[in-house]
Structure 1
Amino acid sequence: MRRRHPAWRGSCAALVLWAGGVASVHAQEYYTQSDFGGVGLLQTPTARMAEEGEFSFVLSRTTPYTNYNVSMQPLPWLEGSFRYTNVSNRLYGARSLSGSQTYKDKSIDVKARLWEESRWLPAVAFGVRDVGGTGLFSSEYLVASKRAGNFDFSLGLAWGYIGNRGDIANPLNFISDRFRTRPASGTGATGALSINKFLRGRPGFIGGVEYHSPWKWLVLKAELDGNDYKNQPQKNNQPQRWPVNLGAVFRLNGNVDLTLGYERGNIGTAALTLHSNLAKHVGPEKSFDPPPEPVSFTSAPAAAAPPDLGAGQDAAPPPDRKPPAQVDWAEVARTLNANAGINVSSISRRGSELVIQGEQERFFYTAEGAGRATRIVDNRVDNSIDWVTVTSERNGLSTVDTSVHRPRFIELLNHEIDLPTFRRSVEQDPVTSREEEVLYNAPLKRFTGGTSIGYQQSVGGPDAFIFYQVYGAGYGTFNFNRHLWLDGVLAVNIANNYDKFRYDAPSNLPRVRTDVRKYVTSSDITMPNFQLTGTHKLGEDLYGMAYAGMLESMYAGAGGEVLYRPFGEHWAVGGDINWVKARGFDQDFSLRKYHVITGQATGYLDTGFHNVTLAVSVGRYLAGDWGTTIDVSRQFANGTRMGAYATVTTKSGNAGYGEGSFDKGIYVSIPFDALLPNSSRNRATLMWQPLVRDGGARLNKRYTLYTLTNDLDSDLFDKNLGKISQ
């Protein structure tokens, strides 16, 4: 998916579908979000964690602050949050630049549980609030939580904003005198980690109690606020009658919470939380998909009705079984495309094995496509075929053979064996050249294309808080052969407010990204992408790709990539190198003077720990700086992924770097299949980046070999094997 700048990308429509109708499985006891996002009371955090996979959006108002929080729980013991804070009584900047827009602050929070609650010991967590950026609300805390019946008690110590009351001398003073005083502003003023503030200054006590009432829809809260509001950022001090805050959480349904509170002894507060557990989410019924073909169970009585039919459905009798030599394979290929989502390139036979090679274009879970393909074959061939193999192909690259033992599959459908027993009758193997009888070669479809409506937005700029654009897009692909194609996208503006976008971020590096304003405002008709791409399997487990053209909205050029991804392993290594030149601001065929050679070597490792994947890239970036990008993400069984990344280069922290000392962000990637009433291979990816930077900027390639070979992910296949019978 093409990257959008600066802060948000992906499908807004998909997010609306998620927020409005996702059904989640929740534990009987649940933990609610604080005003600042993350599990907590009101102003203060607790040691509690949400269920892994929980995703929450919190809108809270506590005068003069309005917080827009996104919180994610990628691991049982790790919580991450991203937040925009609107300070309603302070202007963003000079009226000549931002008019009457109020100040917006961006921050990232992290909380880690140190140990879980036991019979005698409480749960304990350490966290950091506003870890980077301006550090206006920066704070560190250590907090413990212990449950007693329906009551959940918390007590902790906080430094910085949360503990500004400064109840006691810093217990760390014995280590060094530097812990006695907290700097008024740290390195975070330029976007770096505010590590020179960590655990410094006088801390304050925080704590409180949460009561889970007999009614599941009501939770009551009371907390000791560690902030006295006498040292607020921007000299924005607030009156406080007493340090006890009170609140009530009303669970309106399984995905929506409303919090009403009374804080500082003088103001009412409110918060709305939209939340769902993405790890446990079950997508809507695929009512727009064709039903799988019914099969005739050879071991069942002739009158038995196939168990996969819905109420009121009449099963058409399956075609007569024939020897493979007599089957109309062109008809089989059409049926495989229409019902199993496989765009067939060839069908062949190896003894008692039938091999279907093609690209899965509809079903996110390959097991589902393989099961449908086995049904189709079973209805058409005689008993000389024992195995049905689907060779996964993606843009000309064959990756994995998925083989299903046909008789055992029929036993599974007929409930004669269970899924664990059937698992021994499914194999995944590397694609190898073997002697075979070709039964059918599909003609190449030269041209494909279509239209769509798109949306992009940028959040948090000085000119306006939200810039948006709605556009129409036409896309097309011309295939020279299965390994070489020309494709492109033409976008037409429908509605936007980017005419207000006047701000160019400060930078002393080549403006490789901070010229974004000119790219989005110069023309209503743009060509974001137009490129020639070729792929080739260079050897066993070795994949290659080359490309040239208008590679993204800002850069044209040529490049290549190689990837070594051994079958059955949980690691891969690869690299790319590109010569690129800046495109004209109209995003047509014109070019500007700036050019650079850029590329990175990347190592990927599935750690085996909670399906956490680590990707480390080292190389040269678009501004000519050299550095490293570290990306850590967690993939859940249904394919949803949560992650974070950071890039540090030779220019990071230098005066010439401009706004922000290094690049960082958090993201969530949700399969459309989990959101829509029809199956889809696409994803909605939403990324939050605090700033647009020139340092650490990478080329936004349309294709990458690691994603093109994702069918090699055997863990995702195994965890969703049950879909083979759907």
Structure 2
Amino acid sequence: MATPFATAQNSEAPKREVITSAPTLNFYGLPGLIDTPSGEAMPDGQLALGVSHFGGQTRTTLSFQFSPRISASFRYIGIQDWNSDGFDTYRDRSFDFRYLLLKERQYRPAVSVGLQDFAGTGIYAGEYVVATKNFIRPFRLPGRAKVTAGLGWGRLGSSGSIGSLSGGDRPAFDPNGTGGELATDQWFRGPVSPFGGIEWQYSDRLGFKLEYSPDAYVAETSRGVFERDSRINFGVEYQWTNAIRLGAYYLYGSEIGVNAQIQFNPKTPATPFTLAGPRPIIVRPTREANPQSYDTAWAASQSAPMILRDVVEPELTEDGIRLESLQVTANRAEARVSSSRYANLAIVVGRTARALARQLPPSVEVFDIVLMNEGLALSTTTISRRDLETLEFRPDAANALLAASELSDAAPRAPEGAIDGTQAYPRFSYSLGPFLRPSYFDPDRPVRFDVGISAQAQYRFAPGWLASGEVRHRLAGNIDSGRPSNSVLPRVRTDALLYAQAADTTIENLFVSRQWKTGKNTYARVTAGYLEQFFGGVSAEFLWKPASSKLGLGVEANYVRQRDFDQQFGFQDYDVATGHISAYYDFGKGYYGQVDVGRYLAGDVGATFTVERQFANGWRVGGFFTLTDVSSEEFGEGSFDKGINITIPTSWFIGQPSRQTVSTTIRPVQRDGGARLSVSGRLYEQIRTGHITDLNADWGRVWE
């Protein structure tokens, strides 16, 4: 977590970009002054949550610095005393996009261009170009100052206009619209106004802001939400902790406002990560010094494979690694391994190699380590034992070992003569604990949720075979008092209220699946049963994904029927054939893209586009949108499906290795158009972390 006042030292900074303090956030949860933006970008990967309130208006914004130049935000607002158009408290959702055009240099400001509320009803719609320059000890005063100036359209051009650079009229805000569509005909159109201000960071804790804001708040003042008497805003902010910043302000000559900012970076764990050190590698004597130790007569013994398995397996088990199979010849060994402890599979490779080097006879010179996941062979890492012994303490040991090793596709099955691990199959696991099911953005109550007890059980009776089920009992909650559906489409998602009302004890899912590797680069899955909360049936999937390729191609076909509202064993009359052709691409440096084209649960046809960033520690943040042949009027509020996916590894919180994660999807509104079947065990998610691009990215931890 970076304190906004912290700076980094870089002797080359004057020649390139200036290393500046991390930006503070405005009332829109964006880098800025008070109610206007600034030209800076947050640190790469930064997540920020801003909550602000003034004049009866509350804004909650989640922002993410997706790349060094690109950031995106999702905002939820509530405006009290909205005494027209049938609203008491008007609630709305919106998205923002910012691009850093120029990084700050010694004599040049940072410059950004932004789209505000570009995919909502447009209440906050506006565009801007803005520049910010940092000054250390301005006029010999203590601390640091930032000077910001920009031009704004839309909300930011609603008073004090200097003209219309782009020409044309700008449509007025319509609070009764469905929202969600890209209003490209509005962007950078209509009156344009200057804005700007100064931020003075007096110390690492205390800061002051002064700004000129041209936002006339036409919709709010015309409805009596508050009175606007000035364009000048000022305030004071206090950095409470490294992550939390609080502020109080006087706005528009009439209102007191407050703002709370929380910023953190997924790259920096909440709890420092600790990992027990690996066992040392036992270095063999040289062949010249002890030729007898390299004798291979042991390989002729029929009991040798089992004896070797029984000494290798306990060491791997203690390290949290499961030995699926082991095949050993006089000079070469293949170990197929999986782990429920380590999300970073380079650690699995490194510790498996150490165990083999410690336990196998000296004549075994080459190790083939095959990473496995749920019976699927992901990739093979071939390591020379001599390299393990000689490179461990090199200054650049990880890169040296990677250069000397070979990463390749894994054979679908273990070679002839392999001995299964004693803990491989069958395996039974279960868990009992609490669950929380959230529901977002109901206008009557923005956040609803159910809580209760969940019992899950899984039985893996052979490689690739899984029987799994979950039963839930709701103890408390209010999802069952939400809004009834008004959808004109088949109600494949919007009848969630009826499902919540029907029963407290439900079968969340109950299915059998079989997945296997059909060839060197291909995988398959078949799943049958009660697949998710609303649907049951049969799902089949086929995936082509070479271990060394950035591209993956898949096809999925499903035939499902809608479940009874009580989520027991019965079905309703509605059934549908649904499926998709998918393309997956790894852009490198943790960026992924996915396109799914096909037929959705409501029978509509279209495509879903997803982009995601994955961090080395397992954090994943991404966004998606779906466009189908359903019109915006048929879809209803929001016009089309879109949302944000966030996955947080539990290791980030507990500081111990774990493959468990907590995931959520934030949708502005859940409708029936663009709804895809939710089925466990989709193939690409299972295999990508064990393929070569991800393994290379994680390789720095191979010696841990």
Cα distance in structure 1, aligned partners of 2:7 and 2:365: 44
Equivalent residue, structure 2, for 1:3:
none
- The residue number in structure 1 matching 2:189 is 200
Measured against aligned partners, the alpha-carbon deviations of 1:618-661 in whole angstroms (never above 9, x if no partner) come to 111111111111111222333322221110110132x3222221
Relative to structure 1, is the Cα distance of residues 397 and 50 closer, same or farther in structure 2, using a 3 angstrom cutoff? same
Closer/same/farther in 2, CA of residues 25 and 477 from structure 1, 3 Å limit? farther
Give the deviation of 1:363 after TM superposition.
0.2
- Please list the CA deviations of residues 111-131 of structure 1 after superposition, one character each: whole Å capped at 9, or x if unmatched: 112233344443322211112
Deviation at 1:188? Answer: 5.7
Q: Is 1:680 the counterpart of 2:672 in the alignment?
A: no
Question: Which stretch shifts more, 427-436 or 198-207?
Answer: 427-436
1:403 paired residue number: 382
The 8 Å contact of residues 479 and 485 in structure 1, kept in 2 or not, is answered as yes
- Counterpart of 1:598 in structure 2 is 578
Note if contact 1:622-1:696 (Cα within 8 Å) is conserved in structure 2.
Answer: yes
Q: SS at 2:681's partner residue?
A: coil
- Alignment-mate amino acid for residue 426 of structure 1: S
What code does the residue aligned with 1:266 have?
Answer: S
Structure 2: how far apart are the matches of 1:548 and 1:256?
47
Aligned pairs for 1:75-154 (under 5 A) are 75-90=67-82, 102-149=89-136, 150-154=144-148
Q: 1:416 to 1:197 in 2, by over 3 A?
A: closer
Alpha carbons of 1:25 and 1:672: their partners in 2 closer, same or farther (altered >3 Å)?
farther
| Contact 1:345–1:357 (Cα < 8 Å) also in 2 | yes
The answer for the alignment partner of 1:56 in structure 2 is 48
Q: Distance in 2 between matches of 1:546 and 1:327?
A: 34
Q: Is the 8 Å Cα contact of residues 76 and 91 (structure 2) preserved in structure 1? A: yes
- Counterparts of 1:415 and 1:283 in 2: how far apart (Å)? 31
- Asked whether the equivalents of residues 592 and 613 of structure 2 are also in contact (C-alpha less than 8 Å), the reply is yes
Query: Which residue in 2 is equivalent to 1:698?
Result: 676
SS in 1 for 2:42: coil
Distance 2:218 2:535 in 1: 50
Q: Which residue of 1 aligns with 2:471?
A: 490
Structure-2 change in CA distance of 1:579 and 1:110 (3 Å): same
Tell me the equivalent position of 2:529.
549
Give ranges in structure 1 of 5+ residues lacking alignment.
1-20, 96-100, 174-178, 301-321
Offset of residue 488 of structure 1: 0.9
1:258-297: CA deviation from partner (whole Å, max 9, x where unpaired): 122222123222211121112x32463555x665334445
Distance 1:326 1:665 in 2: 52
State how 1:454-603 maps to structure 2 within 5 Å. 454-501=435-482, 503-603=483-583
Q: Please state how far the C-alpha of 1:348 moved relative to its aligned partner.
A: 0.7
State the match for 1:444 in structure 2.
425
Q: Is contact 1:160–1:182 with CA below 8 Å preserved after alignment?
A: no
Q: In structure 1, how many angstroms separate the alpha carbons of the residues matched to 2:23 and 2:572?
A: 53
Amino acid at match of 1:36: Y
Letter in 2 for 1:239: E
What TM-score results when the alignment is normalised by the length of structure 1? 0.86
Q: CA deviation at 1:412?
A: 4.4
Summarize the alignment of residues 268-283 of structure 1 with structure 2, pairs less than 5 Å apart.
268-278=256-266, 280-282=267-269
Compared CA separation, residues 24 and 458, structure 1 to 2 (3 A): farther
- Structure 2 partner of 1:209: 198
Q: 1:26 to 1:604 in 2, by over 3 A?
A: farther
Q: Which has the higher contact order (CA 8 A, sep 6+)?
A: 1
Q: Which of 612, 624, 628 pairs up with 1:649?
A: 628
Q: Does the C-alpha gap of structure 1 residues 102 and 337 become closer, same or farther in structure 2, counting only changes over 3 Å?
A: farther
CA distance in 1, matches of 2:636, 2:618: 37
Equivalent position of 1:619 in the other structure: 598
**Residue type of the partner of 1:131?**
F
Aligned counterpart, 1:172 = 166
Name the residue aligned to 2:140: none
Which letter maps to 1:517? L
- Please say if residues 322 and 339 of structure 2, whose CA atoms lie closer than 8 Å, have aligned partners that are also in contact: yes
- Residues 530-579 of structure 1, C-alpha deviations (whole Å, 9 max, x = no match): 11111122222111111111010000111211111122111111110111
- What amino acid is the match of 2:470? V
| Pair 1:389–1:423, CA change in 2 (3 A) | same
Listed as ranges, the matches of 1:291-370 within 5 Å are 292-296=278-282, 325=304, 328-332=307-311, 334-336=313-315, 338-370=317-349
Question: Structure 2: where are the runs of 5+ without partners?
Answer: 9-20, 137-143, 287-296
Q: Distance in 1 between matches of 2:514 and 2:188?
A: 54
Residue matched to 1:6: none
Q: Distance in 2 between matches of 1:688 and 1:519?
A: 20
Aligned residues of 1:133 and 1:188 also touching (Cα < 8 A): no
Is the Cα–Cα contact under 8 Å of residues 122 and 173 in structure 2 kept in the other structure?
A: no
* Amino acid aligned to 2:146: D
1-structure distance, mates of 2:284, 2:312: 24
For residues 285 and 208 of structure 2, what CA distance do their matches in structure 1 show?
Answer: 59
Residues 329 and 439 of structure 1 are in contact (CA less than 8 Å); yes or no, is this contact kept in structure 2? Answer: no
Partner residue of 2:369 out of 381, 387, 390: 390
Secondary structure of the 2:693 match is helix
Instruction: Please tell me whether the aligned partners of residues 180 and 640 of structure 2 are also in contact (alpha carbons under 8 angstroms).
Output: yes
Matched, 1:254 2:242: yes
Deviations 1:11-54 (A, max 9, x none): xxxxxxxxxx9999964411111111111111011111001100
Query: Retained in 1: the 8 A contact 2:562–2:575?
Result: yes
Residue type at the aligned position of 1:716? D
Asked if the contact 1:392/1:711 (under 8 Å) is kept, the reply is no
DSSP 3-state at the match of 1:607: strand
Q: Which amino acid aligns with 2:25?
A: Q
Question: Taking structure 1 as reference, are residues 410 and 491 closer, same or farther at Cα in structure 2, changes over 3 Å only?
Answer: farther
1:136-187 CA-partner distances (Å, limit 9, x unpaired): 11111121223333332221121222332152221112xxxxx234333399
Are the structure 2 counterparts of residues 379 and 687 from structure 1 closer, same or farther at C-alpha, using a change threshold of 3 Å?
same
Q: Secondary structure at the match of 2:500?
A: helix
- 8 Å CA contact retained: 1:230, 1:238: no
> Cα RMSD between the aligned structures?
2.9
2: distance between equivalents of 1:473 and 1:92?
44
Instruction: Give the distance between the partners of 1:707 and 1:23, measured in 2 at CA.
Output: 35
Post-superposition Cα deviations, 1:241-267, rounded to whole Å, max 9, x if no partner, equal 321111233222221111222221232
How many residues are treated as equivalent by the alignment? 670
In the TM superposition, 1:177-192 aligns within 5 A as 179-185=168-174, 189-192=178-181
Judge conservation of contact 2:316–2:352 (CA < 8 Å) in 1. Answer: no
The answer (yes or no) to whether the contact 1:182–1:201 under 8 Å persists in 2 is no
CA distance in 2, matches of 1:226, 1:656: 37
User: Taking every aligned residue pair, what percent have the same amino acid on both sides?
Assistant: 27
Cα distance in 2 for residues equivalent to 1:23 and 1:422: 37
When the two structures are superposed, what TM-score results if normalisation uses the length of structure 2? 0.88
- Give, as a single letter, the amino acid of the residue that structure 2 aligns with 1:193: L
Q: Is 1:225 aligned to residue 213 of structure 2? A: yes
Instruction: Answer yes or no: is the 8 Å Cα contact 2:313–2:421 preserved in 1.
Output: no
Equivalent pair of 2:429/2:458 in contact (CA under 8 Å): yes
Please state if 1:155 is matched with 2:143.
no
**2:550 and 2:586 in contact (8 A); partners too:** yes
Structure 2 distance, partners of 1:676, 1:168, is 55
Of the structure 1 ranges 35-44 and 677-686, higher mean CA displacement relative to structure 2 is found in: 677-686
Distance 1:470 1:573 in 2: 38
Q: Secondary structure at the match of 1:421?
A: helix
Write the distance in 2 (CA, Å) between the matches of 1:409 and 1:387: 10
The letter for the 2-side match of 1:721 is W
Q: Does 1:263 align with 2:251?
A: yes
